[in-house]
Amino acid sequence: MTGSLWNRRASDRPLVIAHRGGALLAAENSAEAFRLAAAARADAVETDVRMTADGALVCLHDADLQRLAGDPRAVADLDLAAIRELMPRVLTLPEAIAASAPLGLLLDVKLAAPSCLPPIIAAVRQGQAPSRVLLGLRHLALVAEARALAPEIPILGFLADPDSAAAARQAGAAWFRLWEGAATAVRVRTARAEGLGVAIMVGQPRNSPLADEWPPFPTGRIDAVGLAALSALGPDAILLDDPRLARFS
């Protein structure tokens, strides 16, 4: 991982990661969003990884196509050709790896079965992208499995418990995600003490925000006040839908 973007710790500013490729710039998780994120001087793009019925790895956030294509069927129940009939611009993982270059690429793996890891790792290696990719995993067992399978690819723990930094590090993660609403100075310091990079995801963990929760924005959205507060915490990276907002230097 020598020279990897993800080995750096942001001493002067956080890394800017365009969430869902830059969902306020163009269609989420699209090559066009990646291009515009690069033009906006993002350091990296984040995209989601699911698997189709015929084993293709595709960059789609939701488990089904209702929100994006008006079709209630699950991604896992459709083959790639059927998905592309509904969403011609959907990217496969190899396509996303190519389209995101030379930016960093955070993969939010929405899959829980260990069997998903070998094809994902193979795609990263075949795309000559281990130094660009940060592998985001949601289960400690997957973190440990990926660490054993691909020690050259750094891992971010997308764990539900904001106080699980020590467990993430023990399993093999190099980075730890905190939601904006759970990001405190104590939690940032705790993760840092474990040797983890801290990535803060802005907004609430849902597409439609709840009125009685803070921050008052859906996933990926933030305002100048929120950015100033997060900057004061000194995270190593911030994920947001519009990287144009996050100019820290």
Tens digit of pLDDT for each residue in 174-200?
A: 999 999 999 999 999 999 999 999 999
Mind listing the domains of the chain with CATH numbers? 5-136+202-245 (3.20.20.190)
pLDDT at 170 over 50: yes
CA-closest candidate to residue 24, choices 232, 177, 210, 223: 223
| Residues facing 137 on adjacent strands | 157
In 39-170, where do the E strands start and end? 44-51, 57-58, 64-65, 71-74, 104-109, 133-137, 155-157
pTM, rounded to two decimals: 0.96
pLDDT tens per residue, range 8-53: 655 568 999 999 999 999 999 999 999 999 999 999 999 999 999 9
Three-state DSSP at 46 gives strand
Residues 21-55 as b/e (b if ≥16 CB within 10 A, e otherwise) read bbbbbbbbbbbebbbbbbebebbbbbbbbbbbeee
